[in-house]
Amino acid sequence: MDTQLEAKIVERGKEFFKSISGEAPSIFNKGWWTGKVMDWAMKNEDFKVQLFRFVDVFPYLNTSESLSRHIREYFSGEDHEVPAVLKWGAGKASFGGKLTAKIMEKTIRSNIENMGRQFIVGQNTKEAVKGLAKLRKEGFTFTVDLLGEATVSEEEADAYRDGYLEVLDAIAEEQSKWKAHAGKGGDSSMDWGYTPKVNVSIKPSALYSQAKPVDIEGSVQGIYKRLEPIYRKVIEMGAFLCIDMESLKYREITLELYRRLRSAQEFRHYPHLSIVLQAYLRCTEHDAEQLIHWARTEQLPIAVRLVKGAYWDMESVLAKQNNWDFPVWMYKPESDIAFERVAKILLENHDIVYFACASHNIRTISATMEMAQSMTVPENRYEFQVLYGMAEPVRKGLLNVAGRVRLYCPYGDIIPGMAYLVRRLLENTANESFLRQSFADGAEVARLLENPEITLQRELAARPEPKPEEIVDGLPLFKNDAMIDFTIPKCRTAFPAAIKKVRESAGGVIPLYINGKEVQTEDVIPTTNPADYNEKIADVCQAGTAEIDAALEAADKAFLTWRDTPAKERAECLLKAAELARQRQYELSAWQVLEIGKQWDQAYHDVGEGIDFLEYYAREMLRLDKPRRMGRAPGEHNQLFYQPKGVAAVISPWNFPFAIAIGMCSAAIVTGNPVVYKPASISSRVGYNLVEIFREAGLPDGVFNYCPGRSSVMGDYLIEHPKVSMICFTGSMEVGLRIQNKASVVQPNQMQCKRVIAEMGGKNAIIIDDDADLDEAVLHVVYSAFAFQGQKCSACSRVIVLDPIYDRFVERLVKACQDIKIGRSEDPENYMGPVADASCQKTVMDYIKIAEEEGTILLKRDDHPANGAYVPLTIVGDIKPEHRIAQEEIFGPVLAIMRAATFDDAIAIANGTRFALTGGVFSRSPEHLEQARKEFRVGNLYLNRNNTGALVERQPFGGFKMSGVGSKTGGPDYLIQFLDPRVVTENTMRRGFAPIEEDDDWI
């Protein structure tokens, strides 16, 4: 630490504080409603959550009924009283007395709107231009940002682009009237002599609806296309453009976009283009260095706005949810340290980097100033920025000291405005917020100005010793396989390589695997790539009844030793298999991409789920393996434990050809039941992956037998066989019911009642409440309905939309689906690919015909490739509950839209089929969410998120009614279905003498 510099920083900070002594940001002013409410929110975490959520939903509350209902739901606690603080300001007359609901609502509405206006320079172009002019008069400069909803369609992206063009036009007219702020020489028509008076910030993701990290190039191009005209206009009017950095997901896209725009032939002459870097990202120092290196190589001056970063909560929650490495700094002081470090780098390179220091933290600001001074960086190479409506004392102090302050000024509609407001409120009320600590909590100045390195050391020292990793039965706790993270380049490059490798090894003959030996048959069936029937994946041998007999005999024999193999050893086989699958995860995924048309992420997560099953069931078996003493009477010892049932026939579907198959097989195997496994015909090659893995994992001969075959030849034979003790099936309702019926007939020499575990179909609905966040609802519905072409039993096939929001939702949804890319699944730019095979294609096409008859087609995407098993993505409206399209499982990309008058109606419609598998609700009404929890009766209900992708352990999966008979896969009740419970009771008293055990209920 440079102690001299450090002293100067603190000194300057103290002066800064002194210069603004007694002032406070208006948001903390308790004389005002906002200040009062903020104060309460900071003291009461529950209220804060409710308040911010209420602010979030607020723009949707257009009717008095809706507003009052939400106020009640969010804020009435046990005592059914809305807190006085919220009602405050409703007029002196009513203060403390009884307030009529109408007045209260009005007050709250206007208070919240005022709160929003605090941070927004205007709600439309005219207001904005006026507001900006006013700020300039006060001596500030600005960068203007157009607020927007999430861009879910290309039309919305166009509109966003046009919005920018509009505001630029409006400002262009005005800017000549504005006097430039004086500087120390330079160009007197420019602010401070060197920077354009007009400065625009833009969120790149808003300019392209299909941006995604797996497709960097496509995303950059998509954004670039719409950014180009904006940038032309910016240059035309001599303005400045800053490309904002959003969530980590878009980081690489944004960096590439910046480089491409900055270095384009047309634009490389123009220096006023900036990019934002976020100090809270661990990779930002590296990014800054790379960017500078690039600038020097290209000999192009660049500009960087450095911020701390506004999505810390989200990034860290996502990382935890997906089992990713933490991308952000864990402790606040670490981000502060990183900010100063990156600022130093940027200042050191001031010859080529123009630096905007965007912070409200007086320590950070002081450090920047002192570093610049110590490096003698010219003042025209850096500036300071703060957010409009926040930290007024800081901006005032900066104006005094530096003279160069730019305010970040959002403008736009109230709906996106509220989202922005919530982020600002969060920032202000966070415990670690510098503004809160400085101006609300009254922290000591010395503490506020402390070197963050010291703060960090203190915080680390005060931190409780981390708990040692919890070990149960000799294993760390179960953890889901990490979601694939396409922001990591090697995750993107691994796929084409794996697909290439798999493609090269495809096309051979796949034998059966019985009793540890490969068995060839004359009868083979080819499996092909559904995107191209000419690409053969494999010729698969077909088991007949003789092979089934052999497999069952092998399994029956293996049972005698496998059931007595210690559970620990059986579990270890699963753990070994999991490890093998992890090592081959890309390759295993690639087989699915080619054989069944899964997209990269879908295939990767299928394999990940298979790994999860192996890891989870291994642990579950160890848990269940411990005999439990029942009762505590002395002289008697009762133990409850479980034993395997016998040979299991596993019949698995093609849609999760690895996960579901290995899930069912491993559950049977780890519980001690040998398996005869019949994969779905069209995914038999992926099915063979199980042979490869279990073989290498060291399963004894006969414990796992791979028997693909024609259902018509050996399907019933297998199910009806007296040697089969249990049948694990996942597939259609029709087949599932047939199996149950066949299995209930006791055959000669059959020694047990067959247990059938059948997971069957769904007709899953998502309800869109009238206060649903459409930014989220639209994208999640698209994903739920059309990811992997809707071929998931969990997929959404009905959307039930509340009447008041019907038109807005449906319009956005249809437009979003209009722009989805359809094509080969192996190309990551495509969102949707072909269905599984020609037979599936025909079924879906038949249903589309029915849809056309029953309802109104809102979208039918015939623009798919001509060859292969493609079907049009179809959305059909005007569907009534009694329609076949509303009742029958389609298993393809066909979505029915239904209208509901009330939330009660919506629930009734949702429950009104024979199925009960998954469901979803998008709502911001606490009572409706609660109602859905109780009354939306499905196996897996998802609130405010997509309704597919259940994770092992976290979302045990499976339904009831006609959707399933078993208990949930990947959950704590699953394995006991594969086991018979036994109790052994020992009378331990002999000759009146019983040893007393420790857990006896004794005297």
Q: Does an H or E element contain 768, and which?
A: strand 764-768
Q: Which of 94, 316, 565, 843 binds a second copy (CB under 8 A)?
A: 316
Strands 918-922 and 524-529: unpaired
Q: How far apart are CA 938 and CA 666, in angstroms?
A: 26
Q: Does 472 bind a second copy (CB under 8 A)?
A: no
Q: How far apart are CA 426 and CA 433, in angstroms?
A: 9
- Of the pair 639, 818, the CB lying nearest a second copy is at 639
Dihedral of alpha carbons 446, 447, 452, 453, sign: positive
Q: Does 976 bind a second copy (CB under 8 A)?
A: yes
Q: Does 29 bind a second copy (CB under 8 A)?
A: no
Q: How far apart are CA 394 and CA 436, in angstroms?
A: 13
Site for a second copy, residues 261 to 300, rule: CB under 8 A: none
Strand positions, DSSP E, 782-931: 796-802, 856-860, 874-877, 894-900, 915-916, 918-922
Site for a second copy, residues 524 to 563, rule: CB under 8 A: none
Residue 776 CB, nearest approach to a second copy (Å): 8
Q: Does 40 bind a second copy (CB under 8 A)?
A: no
Among the listed residues 899, 495, 547, the one whose alpha carbon sits nearest the alpha carbon of residue 709: 547
Pull the structure tokens for residue 130. Answer: 């006026």
Pull the structure tokens for residue 773. Answer: 């966040």
Q: Which of 882, 992, 998, 999 binds a second copy (CB under 8 A)?
A: 992
Name the active-site residue from 252, 450, 759, 889.
759
Pull the structure tokens for residue 746. Answer: 């006791």
Residue 414 CB, nearest approach to a second copy (Å): 14
Site for a second copy, residues 758 to 787, rule: CB under 8 A: 758, 773
Pull the structure tokens for residue 116. Answer: 């929003």
Q: Which of 16, 194, 208, 311 binds a second copy (CB under 8 A)?
A: 311
Q: Which of 19, 40, 44, 53 binds a second copy (CB under 8 A)?
A: 53
Q: What are phi and psi of 860, to 5 degrees?
A: -145, 105
Q: Does 446 bind a second copy (CB under 8 A)?
A: no
**Cα Rg of the chain, angstroms:** 32
Q: Which of 712, 990, 998, 999 binds a second copy (CB under 8 A)?
A: 990
Site for a second copy, residues 708 to 747, rule: CB under 8 A: 737, 740-741, 743-746
Q: Which of 159, 352, 419, 850 binds a second copy (CB under 8 A)?
A: 419
Question: Using CB under 8 A as the criterion, what x/- string covers residues 557-586 for binding a second copy?
Answer: -------x----------------------
Among the listed residues 666, 799, 820, 623, the one whose alpha carbon sits nearest the alpha carbon of residue 152: 820
Q: Which of 6, 39, 56, 888 binds a second copy (CB under 8 A)?
A: 56
Question: What is the full DSSP assignment across 24-81?
Answer: --GGG-TTSHHHHHHHHHHH-HHHHHHHHHHHHHGGG--SHHHHHHHHHHHH--TT--
- What 3-state DSSP class applies to 340? helix
With contacts defined by CB under 8 A, name the span among 307-315, 390-398, 529-537, 762-770 that binds a second copy: 307-315
Site for a second copy, residues 327 to 386, rule: CB under 8 A: 330
- What 3-state DSSP class applies to 509? strand
- Of the pair 833, 971, the CB lying nearest a second copy is at 971
Q: Does 678 bind a second copy (CB under 8 A)?
A: no
Q: What are phi and psi of 649, to 5 degrees?
A: -95, 125
Residue 362 CB, nearest approach to a second copy (Å): 26
Q: Does 827 bind a second copy (CB under 8 A)?
A: no
Site for a second copy, residues 857 to 896, rule: CB under 8 A: none
The burial of 2, by beta-carbon neighbours within 10 Å (0-12 exposed, 13-18 middle, 19 or more buried), is given as: exposed
Site for a second copy, residues 609 to 668, rule: CB under 8 A: 628, 630-631, 633-636, 638, 640, 643, 645
With contacts defined by CB under 8 A, name the span among 253-261, 319-327, 574-582, 696-704 that binds a second copy: 319-327
The burial of 173, by beta-carbon neighbours within 10 Å (0-12 exposed, 13-18 middle, 19 or more buried), is given as: exposed
Tracing tokens 């700094």 back to the chain, one arrives at 329
Q: Which of 84, 101, 182, 314 binds a second copy (CB under 8 A)?
A: 314
Residue 654 CB, nearest approach to a second copy (Å): 23
Residue 721 CB, nearest approach to a second copy (Å): 16
Residue 399 CB, nearest approach to a second copy (Å): 31
Is there a catalytic annotation at residue 759?
yes
Residue 523 CB, nearest approach to a second copy (Å): 31
Residue 949 CB, nearest approach to a second copy (Å): 10
Q: How far apart are CA 823 and CA 827, in angstroms?
A: 8
Q: Does 432 bind a second copy (CB under 8 A)?
A: no
- What 3-state DSSP class applies to 332? helix
List CB contacts of 691: < 8 A, sequence separation 6 or more.
513, 704, 706
Tracing tokens 């001596």 back to the chain, one arrives at 139
Site for a second copy, residues 891 to 950, rule: CB under 8 A: 914, 916, 924, 929, 933-934, 937-945, 950
Tracing tokens 């993107």 back to the chain, one arrives at 492
Give the interface size with a second copy as a residue count (CB under 8 A).
Answer: 97
Q: Does 317 bind a second copy (CB under 8 A)?
A: yes
Q: Which residues are catalytic?
A: 759
